[in-house]
Amino acid sequence: MRLDKPIGTLLLLWPTLWAVWIGGFGRPQFHVIWIFAFGTLLMRSAGCVMNDISDRKYDPHVKRTRDRPLATGEIRVIEAVYLAVFLLLVSFAMVLMLGKLTVKLSFVALAIAASYPLFKRFFPLPQAYLGLAFGFGIPMAFAAQLDMVPKVAWWLLAANVFWAIAYDTEYAMVDRDDDVNLGIKTSAITFGRWDIAAVMACYAAMQGILITVGRLMHFGKFYYAGLAVAGAMMIWHYFMIRDRSREGSFRAFNHNNWVGAAIFAGIAVDYWMKGVRWTWN
């Protein structure tokens, strides 16, 4: 379930919280926050289990993954299946509290999450598909609060796709040699010598889309300050990955937690300051 490695949960949580705050106009109800936060943990855990079931024959041949419990035989496949089913059932029980449209979207989210491991076998850019899987909490968060999915939700999802391509390419750079030998498709292999340029281009596309979101939602200076801080971090990532070392690439990947946090802080503070001004008036 990777509970000892929370970076995946955080990368899934931040865009979901962006949507929860925007869909709730800066004042989301506590039960919505709680359901999406805990649901993020459950679904990321379920995704990890399903991924390990799918990759159990590949993981023993990759330095980073050869000690996973299915790869070592520490647990049986049927035990992993039981765990995945349990996590999915608890997640679905929570979704049932959020309305019919959210329930319908949850089936789409499940289909994407379950099929992601297979995309690494044939799709040259599985990181884009990961962006859909990690970002599908966005339309669900809007549906839960508005009973509709407005245009801004799809803009946010698009931004998350570009973000996922950027950070997961950094991640894939760590395993590139092993993945080439195993015939697994990743963006780091597909981009080849243009991998660093592609990462930075995806960061730029993400920022451009989030600026569009800011214009659509009439956000103020605090939102754009959050984007500026996130942008400075993205530039720092260039210096981490430019030598393509495993250590630098993995450090940049992990640092994306703070990129998501900076953007969320900009959204939350912008709404809070608007609320303060409204109270003063």
In this structure, how many other beta carbons lie within 10 angstroms of the beta carbon of residue 109? 21
Query: In the CATH scheme, what is the code of domain 7-276?
Result: 1.10.357.140
pLDDT higher than threshold 60 for residue 280? no
Query: pLDDT tier at 279 (50, 70, 90 boundaries)?
Result: very low
4 or 166: whose pLDDT is higher? 166
Q: How far is CA 195 from the centre of its chain?
A: 20
The better pLDDT of the pair 83, 57 is held by: 83
pTM of structure: 0.90
Taking all residues of the chain, what is their mean pLDDT, rounded to a whole number? Answer: 90
H or E, element range at 151: helix 151-174
Domain boundaries, the chain: 7-276
Instruction: List all residues 6 or more positions away from 20 whose beta carbon is below 8 Å from its beta carbon.
Output: 28, 32, 33, 36, 141, 145
Decide if pLDDT at 58 tops 70.
yes
H or E element in which residue 231 lies: helix 221-241
Residue that is written with structure tokens 């299946």 in the block: 81
- pLDDT score of 84: 92
Smallest CA-to-CA distance from 13 within 252, 233, 258 is with 258
Q: Which residue has the tokens 């969320």?
A: 264
* 231-277 residue pLDDT tens: 999 999 999 999 988 899 999 999 999 999 999 999 999 999 987 54
- CA atoms of 43 and 107, how far apart (whole Å): 12
- pLDDT, tens digit (0-9, with 9 covering 90-100), for 122-159: 788 889 988 988 899 999 999 999 999 999 999 999 99
